[in-house]
Structure 1
Amino acid sequence: MTYSSEELLPGTRRALLHRIASAQTEGRTPSLVAAVQRQGRIVWDGARSCVDGHAPDSDTQFRIGSLTKTFTAVLVMRLRDEGMLDLGDPLEKHLPGTAVGGVTVLQLLAHSAGLSAESPAPWWERTPGTLRPELDDVLGEQTRMHPPGRRHHYSNPGYTLLGALIEQVRGTSWEEALRREILEPLGMRRTSTQPQTPHAGGWAVHPWADAMLPEPAEDLGLMAPAGQLWSTTADLLRFAAFLTDGDDRVLCAASVEEMRPPAAPSESGGSADYGLGLQILRQDGRTLLGHTGSLPGFLAALWFSVEDDVTAVVLTNATSGPLVGGVAADLVGIVAEAEPRIPEPWRPLPEIDEELLALTGPWYWGTRPNVLRLTADRGLELGPMQGDGRGARFVARADGTWIGLDGYYAGEVLRVVRNGDGGVSHLDLGSFVFTREPYGPASAVPGGVDEEGWRGLTG
């Protein structure tokens, strides 16, 4: 990992150190390690430990629990991009024989399949995976807690099913697919399914006394895709850089971006949502993406802000203690507020497409004015001239049409409709007609325009 030559200001660094020191002390955790990345480079890391001189560093492995789910989701999205499955496919199409074959791949990714939160007893995080050798053992008898697709209900067995789906479609183990398709391309050499030295040991801290008890580190077996991984702050920042910008060796930027929007109604309502393998947190006016994780003896959190281009990772080795999700969010906020992102310089387009340039400017949907802009990436952006309203970015397709990337018109097709002489008549967007003037006499408005035209109030 490359460290930035543009180091943070001393006041910012002290604020970051103070935040993790307070978390380690007040949370009574044996050790805590954290790191912050800005513009793809590590700009700060720090650690605290109860043993003098033995603080962990960016190369020390901790167990990351449910952060593993984001890796599993990326593997599923890769299968989708390769045309091996569709997110709308029922599970039964690719993994027959389960008791929940009617739920879709997307519902499993978004925790909206209505499945139970946990596998049957005994507590799966603290017992060997060999106790649940088959998918039926993971799902249990009461598989459905809610109707599929109606709400977000977090499900660890759901991600076990996704791991089995990956193995079935890919024809290799989840672990091998993970190593070959994510870890190796991104250079994540210190992320693994089993602990590798140097690594932290997991501890339980007594709630009413300053005493500790070691926690077991079980192999989760079939449940591995839901929470097995061990990793380091340096490796997780590599992963976060990929989640921010995409990497064609793993998943393109458009597919990574597709994982970010909320995919089902939230259980909490308001500040937290879930996308496709990514948690979404809104705090202090910013949107954070990433995931938290916990297993007996360990807590983990990774949050990144696309707008601020800041990422924070916090790892600790206690079953309960500091709320690391909040700590990581605070680290992002400290940097983003103390040292705001410097915008890139404005630069004109390297070349101008006259046909596209001619499309820019005001367009009217009925009497409502909108503006079509040509963006730096040769895309188009349509939005209201003033205030809030429907809008979207569009990217060109080979057939001469444009497809909406986001907003109200995401997935909708924009067509430039021409007259017989080749001039532009209007824009057609999902059957909506946008014209150069509001209800002009020659405008191609459905239903026609009153032939007497505009008028004032008459007696």
Structure 2
Amino acid sequence: MTDSFQDPEPAEPAEPAEPAGPADPVEPATRRALAHRLALAQAEGRAPSVVAAVVREGRAVWSAGRGELPPGSPADQVQYRIGSITKTLTAVAVMRLRDEGLIDLGDPLGAHLPTPHGGGATIAQLLSHSGGLAAEARGPWWERTPGELRPELADIFGEPPHETPQKHPAGRRHHYSNPGYALLGALVERLRGAPWFDVLRREVLEPLGMRRTTLAPLDPHATGWAVHPHADVRQPEPAVDTGRMAPAGQLWSTAADLSAFAAFLLAGDERVLGAASLAEMRAPAVAPEARDWDTAYGLGMQLWRRGGKVLSGHSGSMPGFVAAVYTSPAERLAAVALANATSGPLMGTLATDLLAEVAAREPALPEPWRPMPGGDADPELVALTGSWYWGTYAYVLRLYAGRELSLGPAGGAGAVRGSRFTPRAAADGGGWLGQEGYYAGEVLRVVRRADGSVSHLDLGTFVFTRTPYDPDADVPGGAAPAGWGGGVTP
């Protein structure tokens, strides 16, 4: 089977890289349940074929295919088009630029890339689809027409009468934009001095062992089909090189490669992007629409709330194909689902179902407790731990490896006012920076008396003392002179 274009320099199919880290395969009963979910998705979704995989503890522990698959090929090595999952890969390339100090996410795009539209949006806004740009490229349907129709950035937007590519003020609301990711791909090209995909292959795909993720299909690969909505008949869909729009949805990949990518999204890889940057990508970057409070978008990642847990990853579609990569960081699980039909099978639903099956049947074991490294166990920090009070509210301060702190209400009540805190360099003013909730971005400092003893904690001007309204601490407004018994009426 072939489609209508080929990679400029097609690589030979390679054996998948050895997955990192040990992981037990799923139990036979779980395998049977996963196979049943896969079969339902293929049959009820009326897809010519479906392939899926589950990742646990850093490696694929189950994969299977159903339907028409190239004979003699392992299901997890068959290529499918992955659509907008491409965007998450593009976002990783952009975050690498940030981590190297070449850009700041708050920079306007126009500071780095000459562009006829979108230059006033920040890089973070484009990553999170809040740059206000049009959802689609102007001109004929870009997913079904050759990229030669849009040879330059200006051709993506065009200038049709009475319309503008800027649909909303930048930063005002979430508005999904495929052209926005074309601009981000062009940014990568400009700052790296090489074509977008060459950069992606060198910096992301090769280090992660994703050797079967390509611009154009390589055998064995699935053919994209449109299945009639009311009859069991089908016709082939075109597969075109989308040119400048490629960073928004061009790529082809396999369940094996996307399993490696999912493992990376869960744990990071310092050769590509660290865990902290990936956690930043998973954080909601813009408020959802009023009717979509169970979904959000980070920096190149979609977010979903399912069963009390937050899943992250991306779905994708192109003519003839639908795909999904969902990760559950809390359970250290991920699922991949691919099908070759324009509509019908809901790969996001299949991925969610696979995650739920494994989580319910074989729940993840907690990480074993270990003492922190001796160098982190600073006696002065250990002495700070324990009970603190904000007014009459009881809090507990805890110390973790890496000299991180957490401060939260005693007993866990009202945890919205709790947070983790990471140490700041002395050059930045010292103290600890809040990472979550109400205190995100706020600085926690230890305030000492002239003799060096600890007076109180200052957290964004809030004073925490060792006892409620400690008379020996510098509490704004002061403590009542008569103390706690002074207000009692005989």
Q: TM exceeds 0.5?
A: yes
Q: Is the 8 A contact 2:70 2:78 kept in 1?
A: no
Deviation at 1:147, TM superposition (A): 2.1
Is it true that 1:336 corresponds to 2:359 in the alignment?
A: yes
The residue number in structure 1 matching 2:477 is 447
Tell me the TM-score normalized by structure 1: 0.96
Deviation at 1:51, TM superposition (A): 6.4
Is it true that 1:354 corresponds to 2:376 in the alignment?
A: no
The residue number in structure 2 matching 1:187 is 209
Is it true that 1:25 corresponds to 2:43 in the alignment?
A: yes
Deviation at 1:406, TM superposition (A): 2.3
Distance 2:82 2:74 in 1: 15
The residue number in structure 2 matching 1:319 is 342
Is it true that 1:228 corresponds to 2:250 in the alignment?
A: yes
Distance 1:397 1:445 in 2: 25
The correspondence of residues 134-149 of structure 1 with structure 2, limited to 5 A, is 134-141=152-159, 142-149=164-171
Q: Is the 8 A contact 1:36 1:331 kept in 2?
A: yes
Distance 1:282 1:5 in 2: 26
Distance 2:193 2:467 in 1: 58
Deviation at 1:357, TM superposition (A): 0.6
Is it true that 1:375 corresponds to 2:405 in the alignment?
A: no
The residue number in structure 2 matching 1:419 is 449
Which ranges of structure 2 fall in alignment gaps of 5 or more residues? 1-17
SS across alignment from 2:259: helix
Is it true that 1:438 corresponds to 2:456 in the alignment?
A: no
Within the candidate set 423, 438, 441, 1:396 is matched to 423
Matched AA of 1:322: P
Distance 2:70 2:269 in 1: 40
Larger deviation: 16-25 or 267-276? 267-276
Deviation at 1:160, TM superposition (A): 0.6
Matched AA of 1:445: V
The residue number in structure 1 matching 2:487 is 456
Question: What count of residue pairs does the alignment treat as equivalent?
Answer: 459
Matched AA of 2:64: G
SS across alignment from 2:77: coil
The residue number in structure 2 matching 1:299 is 322
- CA RMSD, 1 decimal: 1.7
Distance 2:77 2:266 in 1: 22
Which ranges of structure 1 fall in alignment gaps of 5 or more residues? none
Distance 1:194 1:343 in 2: 41
The residue number in structure 1 matching 2:4 is none
For residues 148-202 of structure 1, the C-alpha deviation after alignment (integer angstroms, 9 at most, x for no partner) is 2121111101101111111122222211110111011111111111111211111
The residue number in structure 2 matching 1:71 is 89
Distance 2:394 2:157 in 1: 54
Q: Is the 8 A contact 2:131 2:171 kept in 1?
A: yes
Deviation at 1:54, TM superposition (A): 6.4
Q: Is the 8 A contact 2:23 2:57 kept in 1?
A: no
Q: Is the 8 A contact 1:92 1:98 kept in 2?
A: no
Deviation at 1:449, TM superposition (A): 2.2
The residue number in structure 1 matching 2:313 is 290
Q: Is the 8 A contact 1:39 1:310 kept in 2?
A: yes
Larger deviation: 169-178 or 214-223? 169-178
Deviation at 1:214, TM superposition (A): 1.2
Larger deviation: 376-385 or 225-234? 376-385
- Percent of aligned positions that are identical: 61
Q: Is the 8 A contact 1:47 1:55 kept in 2?
A: no
The correspondence of residues 60-209 of structure 1 with structure 2, limited to 5 A, is 60-141=78-159, 142-209=164-231
Change (3 A) 1:106 1:69: same
Deviation at 1:56, TM superposition (A): 5.6
Q: Is the 8 A contact 2:69 2:75 kept in 1?
A: no
Distance 2:475 2:300 in 1: 44
For residues 285-314 of structure 1, the C-alpha deviation after alignment (integer angstroms, 9 at most, x for no partner) is 221110000000111000010111111000
Distance 2:144 2:69 in 1: 26
Change (3 A) 1:5 1:427: closer
Q: Is the 8 A contact 1:48 1:56 kept in 2?
A: no
Distance 2:70 2:217 in 1: 23
